[in-house]
Structure 1
């Protein structure tokens, strides 16, 4: 640890570690074990991997390290950091480079030339720290490239399978908050990172004494604005983040604060172009303005003087709330976190909680097709996630979860690296002649097969590696490795398309209807239970708002840290200053009428899926709702304050009375990739293995090879 202390002082300018930083670093360097670090935003998580990454630089030479392999306090290799936001990567890489550290990032903001330079430095062993976005882990070229490097440390939130695939020597999991149950899941030896719960988990506690947690319920949007505007003017020389749920609200609220109240405000959300988001991030980091944003903003942004964090809409979970308020006051100075809940928040928040559960019918028909997919010679099957999402009316995140359940619980499949079917290659701009001399003259069997199947264009050559592999009898992975090798050595630039998820078949796949029905019931129940848990977490926020004790103490207890708040009172939250519970009674179960039900049934002729109708009436989107052009119709969300379970029961009865036979859809349908909206008719009930919603892609069955 002496060397780590030197790095801390000479590179980062700190005289001593704080909190649990030293213990985490000792776990990685001395014990050579995986670790989980729970540390609030601003607690210094980044130093827990940056310092170990740089300790080898204190050893005299690489040869000296080889001569002394027993040296336990050296991470001789690459530290790979998986970061969720470009802002975090850019900020930390800039800071590290300014300190003379060989750090880089791979993200969508890089130009082709910048990306090639990073890959060159990686190939030549010049990098100590590399930041990548989570989606990079699904890039077969990247996985192939990183697997050729020695990854001494992987710093990440939760991608256990990837840690195994790249053979990371150590793993450091970092998160701001986690309940005791989540901690156990992360540390699990089989499905997590195999972290010792007793010796490998380090936490600084959930309590931030410099934060004042204030809650002021409001009647509606206008009353919220009337509270928010004067509050923002009290922030002094600091910045502020206002969190909302919907992108449209972010734009409208930012515009009103700027135009009507002359508050320097900008919006930020995923619907904005990448260059615009980057512009807003840079503006925010460099000044004292206000950003109105959806929940992702602020994650990892190294800005110490955020004086205010406002939840204009009630947060979906206490986990979200804790992480977001943790972005205030990273400099340790007093900062205020204000929540403005209203009953009107509840419908849209509950619709998000309900959004991920498809119907039991969709799950069954998806299973039919999965179990009759073609199994390739290497024992794998593949699927296009976009096509399956559209075909079976299952959201992409839920589709990923279903595949994970088949893997982790049923032992039928094991996810492996996704692949791209289409590759585009062009000569490297830095060395264009190398393409002709080393790519076009490469006589390896893989290179010959690639050139035999590529279609030459004026600039880019395109090859579909799937038929190329079949025709040449060369494994597709070998063709991809060949392309990866060319790119890694700077011979060409590469673009990919046509992603397909890939799974090894590890068990006997069910074929009988009764077996598939039983599994469909089991999977659907798990999705339903998950939905109910999400709704419960939302209701936990309502209970938190109602209060009855110190808000800081309530949070600490929720995250399994009941002793961190001195005497159980922070002294500056809404409850501690008033000693009064907040009256807040949002409606979950407003009655719906027969007229509303008739309106839904009259507009939408779907009868084979009662849950679809309940989601439509409640205002929960889905691929099929979008394809039928119903998400912009007045019927969408007409019962958004109803009890969803009662709504579903009513539509089940209505559909049963009509024999679950679809009728005409009266709303003007949109064209869709699956063809569901092309005729103006709802799809007929699907037969076993056919696509839900009337689609063709993914619905046809293939005989197994």
Structure 2
């Protein structure tokens, strides 16, 4: 059956390496993992089984652009697929939910955050699901290069939704990460398929180029390869704009792409690149995961990649058609401090962690929190805060129970009596009790779930299901606000000081590990051995040739990256002058100044408190972004 579906729906006569065995595991009812290089056909491993399995295939994907790209492909093959995402209108998401409910959709793509949505969980819990697919599955591992704490909840969601089989997909996982992610889903080692990381059509080059030489070198490189599709990767948004402007002035069809651009503009730039209207994209890592363009001939790293995993993922976008493609790093150590500073900027301070622990200790047996409020009050950025909450769960102090909307309100599109009269017997009594428990304003009715439970004994879940049904029928307009997460707190709590020190150590270890990735990256770029072999070896692939013959090391052109002298640090008097307005603003809000906050301010790294005091408008913000964070912190 797999071969007939492959021919019928996808137009292929043969499977690529690894695809058939992965698909057969799934069709036999077993969970599986597929670790294939970027562009090697991982997606087919769930697209084909989705057609053969009786119920819905639910795909967890980390990026909206990735979902849109997959959907376009599936629609082109006549396969019914959809997404529910934040860009959709209310009517669009309702239509998708109706189609899923009616069995008209075979594949539904969502972000992992969607599963935290109380209304979505109510909906999806009623849908039979044959297969859960976790794309970019390395995100579930703390040892991965892109750890996303919410991915750790996926085994729990899989259990609560009663999903028989799971497929994990990734292109960038070391042996340690593969073991970790497979263990979390109890995947048998015999069902893990890794096809190797070696790409014989990619020419890997490293050129030691000083910061000042990079732009002329890049222009010369692209001038001799005009109109060949290329991606130029930079670290910062400002660099993307500057490099794109310079290339435009020399006649290249080029655009900058980064997270600072409005979503419609980003989509338009991506579409122009896909259509060949733009030859070159100068981008931060915000670009690429959703791009499945087969004929990208060049991937050039203008700045150092963040890690070997990032490098592998980014060069993997070149030459997906199998034709020779060039991957070039214009290497120096100039932006090493910038890369390291991003890592330091994400590490919460001891005082901030202590504030979160105080909240836990004061909560009693049940802790309700709104993540944005907790981030703002503790000065922990949203992603590290999610990591901190996961660490607290792993330590056994808290256990995630559920999340809900603090505010659920609706407005009637028919009269109260007309709506109630659509039902009979106990259902009618329930609808009347639901209305009676609401606080009524002129237009909006706000539901008091506690009053409903006390007066009628109806659970919150029943009320939400009813409101969703009313909305589907066009009887009400429903609004939900303020996501609240509920945790059960260990009783009694252990002494918190040892917990605090353990958490501080965990974040310090994570920080050390992330900085270590930069060291590994620099070592790879300077290896005297074959670059292709060294890259494959990092990912545990022993089948790559010892000498590929198509990398700069094999050509005898081994890069040596001299340490770059950073600009002189500002004088203590100048630093004190820059920090004075910040310190004053923090005092006015009742917050304590710390050297780490000062270093974040001077290196231009945002944090909730810096945002609150409008730090960007102060003269010293970002004035020392080239300085090593740790040295600057010592001066603050």
Q: Which residue of 1 aligns with 2:11?
A: 13
Tell me, what secondary structure is at the counterpart of 1:81?
strand
Question: Quick one: distance in 2 between partners of 1:435 and 1:120?
Answer: 25
**Deviation by residue 1:374-425 (Cα, 9 ceiling, x = unmatched):** 55xxxx43211111111111111111111101112x2122224432223354
Q: Which residue of 2 aligns with 1:423?
A: 408
- Contact preservation (8 Å) 1:195, 1:201: yes
Question: Quick one: distance in 2 between partners of 1:436 and 1:81?
Answer: 41
Segment of structure 1 superposing worse, 282-291 or 388-397: 282-291
Task: Tell me how far 1:332 sits from its aligned partner.
Answer: 0.7
Task: Tell me how far 1:447 sits from its aligned partner.
Answer: 6.5
Tell me, what secondary structure is at the counterpart of 1:382?
strand
**Deviation by residue 1:67-125 (Cα, 9 ceiling, x = unmatched):** xxxxxxxx221001122233332232233223222222222333333322211111111
Q: Which residue of 1 aligns with 2:229?
A: 239
Counterparts in 2 of 1:639 and 1:89: CA distance versus 1, 3 Å: closer
Corresponding residue to 2:255 among 266, 269, 277? 266
- Contact preservation (8 Å) 1:240, 1:288: no
Question: Quick one: distance in 2 between partners of 1:337 and 1:508?
Answer: 55
Q: TM-score, normalised by structure 1?
A: 0.79
**Structural mapping, 1:645-660, within 5 Å:** 645-649=630-634, 651=636
2:171 maps to 1:176: yes
Tell me, what secondary structure is at the counterpart of 2:331?
coil
Question: Quick one: distance in 2 between partners of 1:434 and 1:243?
Answer: 58
Question: Quick one: distance in 2 between partners of 1:467 and 1:231?
Answer: 67
- Count of residues paired in the alignment: 606
Q: Which residue of 1 aligns with 2:399?
A: 414
Question: Quick one: distance in 2 between partners of 1:43 and 1:143?
Answer: 33
Q: TM-score, normalised by structure 2?
A: 0.88
Task: Tell me how far 1:301 sits from its aligned partner.
Answer: 2.4
Q: Which residue of 2 aligns with 1:508?
A: 491
Tell me, what secondary structure is at the counterpart of 1:107?
coil
Corresponding residue to 2:49 among 45, 48, 52? 52
Q: Which residue of 2 aligns with 1:199?
A: 190
- Contact preservation (8 Å) 2:132, 2:167: yes
Question: Quick one: distance in 2 between partners of 1:240 and 1:451?
Answer: 63
**Structural mapping, 1:100-499, within 5 Å:** 100-156=78-134, 157=137, 158=140, 159=151, 160=154, 161-188=156-183, 192-196=184-188, 198-220=189-211, 223-235=213-225, 238-258=228-248, 260-287=249-276, 289=278, 290-373=280-363, 375=365, 380-408=366-394, 410-425=395-410, 437-438=418-419, 443=428, 445=430, 448-449=433-434, 452-453=437-438, 455=440, 461=444, 463=446, 474-487=458-471, 491-499=475-483
Tell me, what secondary structure is at the counterpart of 2:297?
strand
Counterparts in 2 of 1:251 and 1:436: CA distance versus 1, 3 Å: farther
2:38 maps to 1:41: yes
After the TM superposition, which segments of 4 or more aligned residues of structure 1 sit over 6 Å from their partners? 432-436, 588-592
Counterparts in 2 of 1:7 and 1:113: CA distance versus 1, 3 Å: same
Task: Tell me how far 1:463 sits from its aligned partner.
Answer: 2.6
**Deviation by residue 1:527-569 (Cα, 9 ceiling, x = unmatched):** 11111111111122222222222221221121111x2321x12
Segment of structure 1 superposing worse, 144-153 or 540-549: 540-549
Question: Quick one: distance in 2 between partners of 1:425 and 1:294?
Answer: 41
Structure 2: gaps of 5 or more residues:
141-150, 587-591
Tell me, what secondary structure is at the counterpart of 1:130?
strand
Question: Quick one: distance in 1 between partners of 2:284 and 2:557?
Answer: 32
Q: Which residue of 2 aligns with 1:545?
A: 525
- Contact preservation (8 Å) 1:550, 1:570: yes
Structure 1: gaps of 5 or more residues:
56-74, 652-705
Tell me, what secondary structure is at the counterpart of 2:553?
helix
Question: Quick one: distance in 2 between partners of 1:533 and 1:447?
Answer: 58
